[in-house]
Copies of this chain bind each other. A is one copy, B any other.
Amino acid sequence: MSDRLGPPLETPLFGRVALIGLGLIGSSIARACQHRHLAGTIVAIDQDPATVARVTALGIADRATTDVAEGVRDADLVVLCVPVGACAAVAEAMKGSLKPGAIVSDVGSVKASVIAQVQPHLPEGVAFVPAHPVAGTEYSGPDAGFATLFLKRWCILTPPEGTDEDAVERMRAFWSALGSDVEVMTAQHHDLVLAITSHVPHLIAYNIVGTAADLETVTQSEVIKFSAGGFRDFTRIAASDPTMWRDVFLHNKEAVLEMLGRLNEDIALLARAIRWGEGDKLHDLFTRTRAIRRGIISEGQETPEPDFGRRRDGQ
């Protein structure tokens, strides 16, 4: 694994890195930082004492604490890996302890709201470089993380206007060292792009799984048994962390509702085509969508193996 992520650096990119929130993403960053020696010291901060204990047992940080103010002290890089709704409170808690010249970053799936929550709290001389690694799995918590989570995945940086260029370049180097391709765009554009590539797909998946569970004419046992017909593909992202996703929707409301509106217009057209037997319209769409998947596969963002390369239980 470490080969593929690249060898450890001789000199770490940052002296002290503080990670706040050691869930799937935070713990994956910790592991990757260890593998590649990106930090002189890794400090893990989590409000949950059980997580702090688990991180200590896993040995994925040099120090672990529940105390934000103490944990960020002397850190050269602080990365918020908490649900986006918690960013303001974390920023408030750490603001008095940040070292001049430190970089603050995050990993939130929504960027304009995080900037609005965090930036007002940051003292002069601390740079804020918001980041969003477009990577994850349906599992949560410090045990779910792994060092290659970000390998060959995109990380989007959304520095507000006037952000120190050097800080942006250091974060680009950091995410490159984690194996990611890095792109820079505005927070507003990010929130629109991710609404369609991530937020609305999650909403739709949660919704279809919920609807299927509530039918009076089809039993839940039947839904489960016959899920290989397509339904089960939706259940993976509908098994993602509930708190993280609640916050995403509440903090990217406009873009999500806008994209959902477009989706509804298009589904109304499809429903009409079905009702009136317009097979050509259906066939045309179904042919176009095949091409999109080929693009995703050829860009290395998806496996070409049939059925995602799924293995069957017990095989």
Docked complex: A202-248 residues within 8 A CB-CB of B: 202-215, 217-218, 220, 222-240, 242-243, 245-247
8 Å CB contact of A266 from B210, B218, B247, B310: B210
Q: How many angstroms between the C-alpha atoms of A29 and B11 in the bound complex?
A: 59
Please indicate the chain B residues that have their CB under 8 angstroms from the CB of A139 in the complex.
Answer: 306
Chain A 243-282 per-residue mask, 1 if CB under 8 angstroms from chain B, else 0: 1011101100100110110111011001100110101001
Please indicate the chain B residues that have their CB under 8 angstroms from the CB of A292 in the complex.
Answer: 209, 212-213, 220, 223-224, 235, 238
Q: How large is the interface on A (under 10, 10 to 19, 20 to 34, 35 or more residues)?
A: 35 or more
Q: How many angstroms between the C-alpha atoms of A204 and B271 in the bound complex?
A: 11
Whether A196 sits at the interface, judged by CB under 8 Å, is yes
Whether A137 sits at the interface, judged by CB under 8 Å, is yes
Please indicate the chain B residues that have their CB under 8 angstroms from the CB of A299 in the complex.
Answer: 224-225
| B293 pairs with A274, CB closer than 8 A | no
| A237 pairs with B230, CB closer than 8 A | yes
Q: How many angstroms between the C-alpha atoms of A271 and B262 in the bound complex?
A: 13
Docked complex: A158-217 residues within 8 A CB-CB of B: 183, 192-194, 196-215, 217
Whether A296 sits at the interface, judged by CB under 8 Å, is yes
**Min distance, Cβ A231 to any Cβ of chain B, angstroms:** 4
Q: How many angstroms between the C-alpha atoms of A109 and B208 in the bound complex?
A: 20
8 Å CB contact of A229 from B137, B201, B220, B307: B201
| B201 pairs with A249, CB closer than 8 A | no
Whether A50 sits at the interface, judged by CB under 8 Å, is no
Q: How many angstroms between the C-alpha atoms of A207 and B200 in the bound complex?
A: 12
Determine, out of A51-59, A74-82, A100-108, A148-156, the stretch whose residues face the partner at the interface: A148-156
Q: How many angstroms between the C-alpha atoms of A8 and B315 in the bound complex?
A: 19
Please indicate the chain B residues that have their CB under 8 angstroms from the CB of A282 in the complex.
Answer: 242, 245-246, 249-250
Determine, out of A14-22, A36-44, A122-130, A283-291, the stretch whose residues face the partner at the interface: A283-291
Q: How many angstroms between the C-alpha atoms of A15 and B290 in the bound complex?
A: 39
14 more contacts with CB within 8 A, not counting A238-B290, A257-B275, are: A134-B226, A137-B306, A139-B306, A197-B227, A198-B230, A204-B204, A207-B263, A212-B292, A215-B262, A224-B299, A235-B292, A242-B286, A300-B312, A303-B313
Interface residues of A (CB under 8 A from B): 4, 85, 109, 134-139, 144, 151-154, 156, 183, 192-194, 196-215, 217-218, 220, 222-240, 242-243, 245-247, 249-250, 253, 256-257, 259-260, 262-264, 266-267, 270-271, 274-275, 277, 279, 282-283, 285-290, 292-297, 299-315
